[in-house]
């Protein structure tokens, strides 16, 4: 007897969000089935993979990455242009580490000029990540959103603490896209989406960042949260959860012990660069498989591997 697959259709659909302008703009979401299972629906847009750059020289990055960017890392605009021309990711993420109040605490006006220069130097979509200090990010994003007006950037991220300021500046005043960041909890993710909606930010201008964890560091909880969010969005047609998801993988994986331990401290683990890439790839591949629509990476080799992985699944 011939095998007949049981097909479960979904009545819900993930909304589409476009980032960037022109022919290199990217669209996230659009699927009405679980990831890479088109027997039950349409996969729509493939997951997108971006590379991270900083507003300051990456002194804490591994030496091999510093070597790749040694001629451009002092100037974020040149760095972004170099990444576009040499590696051509789907998007670039400019992360404002230098604006951190616990670090260099760069003034927001200076950061706005950096963001403007980066946006004008590239044709790729630009994702702008803050300091993870919610008070500083609210002020930072207000200035940066104005400086990159017209470039349709994604801002990471609005949180429960600063969503009014970030949503009003990025999502309403300058028509950018707003990242909604929650802490690996379906109820918190839904609540923030509702709050942004009440503020006036449209669903098609919101991309969720439901949190991230490196593989082996509570990652299974992240996966289960992603599953619950997607099944509620698709199976229950919950419109408050029908936004695409972006996962900043690089922000987590390069800070765990497997990535930072020196070779002389753990010779049995192998080269530090290889370990860092392995952590980044395994985390990114896993979260894409369960439904993330975009991931942010750091190493160009990780980018190359993820592109091959995504191509093999379609």
Mean pLDDT to the nearest integer, 53-58:
98
pLDDT of residue 235: 92
pLDDT of residue 295: 98
Q: What is the pLDDT of residues 104-118, one digit of tens each?
A: 999 999 999 999 999
Q: What is the pLDDT of residues 180-204, one digit of tens each?
A: 999 999 999 999 999 999 999 999 9
pLDDT of residue 127: 98
pLDDT band at 40, cuts 50/70/90? Answer: low
CA distance 305 to 281: 7
Mean pLDDT to the nearest integer, 279-306:
97
- 57 domain residue, yes or no: yes
9 or 287: which leads in pLDDT: 287
Residue range of the domain that includes 173 = 16-312
The helix or strand, by DSSP H or E, that contains position 48, with its residue range, turns out to be strand 48-54
- 301 domain residue, yes or no: yes
Above pLDDT 70, what percent of the chain? 97
- Whether the pLDDT of residue 134 is over 90: the answer is yes
Q: Are 205 and 180 in contact (CB under 8 A)?
A: no
Q: Coil, helix or strand for 187? A: helix
pLDDT of residue 41: 66
- Average pLDDT score over the chain: 94
pLDDT band at 163, cuts 50/70/90? Answer: very high
| Count of domains forming the chain | 1
- 3 domain residue, yes or no: no
- Whether the pLDDT of residue 212 is over 70: the answer is yes
- 10 domain residue, yes or no: no
pLDDT of residue 17: 98
Q: Are 246 and 156 in contact (CB under 8 A)?
A: yes
CA distance 227 to 229: 6
- For the beta carbon of residue 2, count every other beta carbon within 10 angstroms: 3
pLDDT of residue 36: 79
Q: What is the pLDDT of residues 231-283, one digit of tens each?
A: 999 999 999 999 999 999 999 999 999 999 888 888 899 999 999 999 999 99
Q: Which two tokens mark 232?
A: 């509620």
pLDDT of residue 34: 83
pLDDT of residue 189: 97
pLDDT of residue 43: 62
Q: Which residues contact 20 (CB under 8 A, 6 or more apart)?
A: 26, 91, 124, 125, 126, 151, 152, 153
pLDDT of residue 239: 96
pLDDT of residue 170: 96
DSSP 213-228: --TTSSHHHHHHHHHH
Domain CATH number, residue 204? 3.20.20.20
- For the beta carbon of residue 52, count every other beta carbon within 10 angstroms: 23
- 259 domain residue, yes or no: yes
pTM of the full structure: 0.95
pLDDT of residue 141: 97
- 278 domain residue, yes or no: yes
- 11 domain residue, yes or no: no
- 123 domain residue, yes or no: yes
């Amino acid at each position: 007897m011939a095998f007949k697959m049981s097909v479960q259709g979904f009545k819900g659909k993930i909304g589409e969000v476009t980032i960037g302008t022109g022919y290199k703009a990217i669209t996230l979401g659009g699927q009405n089935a679980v990831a890479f299972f088109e027997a039950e629906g349409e996969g729509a847009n493939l997951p997108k993979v971006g590379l991270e750059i900083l507003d300051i020289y990456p002194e804490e990055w591994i030496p091999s990455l510093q070597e790749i960017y040694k001629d451009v890392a002092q100037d974020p605009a040149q760095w972004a242009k170099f990444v576009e021309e040499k590696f051509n990711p789907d998007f670039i993420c400019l992360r404002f580490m230098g604006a951190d109040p616990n670090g260099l605490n760069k003034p927001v006006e200076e950061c706005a000029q950096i963001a403007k220069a980066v946006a004008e130097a590239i044709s790729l979509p630009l994702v702008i990540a803050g300091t993870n200090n919610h008070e500083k990010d609210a002020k930072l994003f207000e200035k940066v959103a104005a400086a990159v007006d017209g470039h349709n950037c994604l801002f990471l991220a609005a949180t429960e603490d600063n969503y009014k300021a970030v949503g009003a500046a990025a999502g309403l005043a300058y028509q950018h896209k707003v990242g909604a960041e929650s802490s690996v909890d379906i109820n918190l993710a839904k609540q923030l989406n509702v709050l942004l909606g009440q503020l006036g930010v449209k669903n098609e201008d919101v991309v969720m960042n439901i949190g991230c964890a490196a593989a082996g560091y509570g990652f299974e909880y992240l996966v289960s949260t992603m599953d619950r969010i997607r099944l509620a969005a698709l199976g229950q047609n919950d419109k408050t959860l029908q936004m695409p998801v972006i996962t900043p993988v690089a922000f987590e994986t390069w800070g765990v012990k497997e990535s930072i331990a020196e070779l002389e401290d753990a010779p049995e683990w192998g080269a530090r660069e290889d370990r860092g890439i392995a952590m980044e790839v395994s985390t990114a591949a896993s979260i894409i498989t369960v439904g993330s629509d975009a991931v942010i990476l750091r190493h160009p080799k990780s980018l190359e591997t993820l592109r091959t992985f995504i191509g093999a699944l379609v």
